[in-house]
Amino acid sequence: MVQLGEGFVWQWSMTTEEFEKFPNKQMITNHMRDGEMIKVRAVAKDKPAPDAVNVKAHLEDAYLCLLRDIA
């Protein structure tokens, strides 16, 4: 099932101000402070931010892709 999320999981960092203004918070599956930045993990069909990189999907990511009709 994990393979359903492959290619749809993205990770990147943003400032607190960028996070507060981010328009699509519903796509964010996890966020964590990393010094002055916030590390964000999200599921989306398209690259959600210019510096977002595709990362390996976890079971939870695949499940969220199914729920959100992404996979």
Interval 41-66: pLDDT, tens = 999 999 999 999 999 999 999 999 99
For CA atoms 46, 48, 53, 59, the dihedral sign is negative
Q: How far apart are the C-alpha atoms of 44 and 7, rounded to whole Å?
A: 9
The confidence band for 71, taking pLDDT boundaries of 50, 70 and 90, is confident
Task: Read off the pTM.
Answer: 0.90
> How do the domains of the chain map onto residue ranges?
2-67
Interval 18-42: pLDDT, tens = 999 999 888 999 999 999 999 999 9
Cβ neighbors of 50 (< 8 A, separation 6 or more) are none
